[in-house]
Amino acid sequence: MTVSLHNITVDCADARSLASFWSALTGWNLYYDDDPEVLVAPTYPPQSFPTMLFIPVPEGKTAKNRMHLDLQPTDCTRDEQVERAVALGATVTGDHRKEDGSGWVTLTDPEGNEFCIERSPAERDGGGGPRQIRLTL
């Protein structure tokens, strides 16, 4: 038996606001209606998975994420993507860049959820390679 990854679900205080941040960061589209849940996906109906689903909950975030997203830019450098994320409202919480250009940056979104930005494929191997959004445990 196999399964497919359908949604990456994020509990949050303000679903539309947080989903707007992630929509701007990923370049994906924002979908919502009268339902309090908000979907961020490349297309609608979603043709590729996973999508991101934002669900409002009454309690706030109280501890470090046990799982987070590692993002890899596809049309800019890691450093440009970090600058863009910060301009959108993210906060840098850990800088693991090295002098040789390797490494990553750890950030939090406006509600404190951790994510990392890695080097682009071009920065890793001179180009090519698939777009990657990797879950890290």
Q: In this predicted model, what pLDDT tens digit does every residue of 57-80 receive, in sequence order? A: 999 888 888 899 999 999 999 999
Report pTM: 0.84
Whose tokens are 């850990």? That residue is 94
Quick one: tokens of 86? Answer: 């910060």
Which residue type sits at 39? L
Alpha helical stretches, state H, 27-127:
78-88, 121-125
Q: Are 72 and 121 in contact (CB under 8 A)?
A: yes
Query: Under 8 Å CB-to-CB from 134, ≥6 apart: which residues?
Result: 69, 70, 72
The domains located in the chain, with CATH, are 1-60 (3.10.180.10), 62-137 (3.30.720.110)
Condensed to tens digits (0 to 9), the pLDDT of residues 104-136 reads 999 999 999 999 999 999 998 754 444 455 555
- Helix or strand or coil: residue 95? strand
Higher-pLDDT residue of 135 and 15 is: 15
Average pLDDT over every residue of 99-105: 94
Let me know if 15 is exposed, middle or buried by CB neighbors in 10 A (0-12, 13-18, 19+): buried
Q: Are 22 and 69 in contact (CB under 8 A)?
A: no
State how beta strands 51-56 and 29-31 pair: unpaired
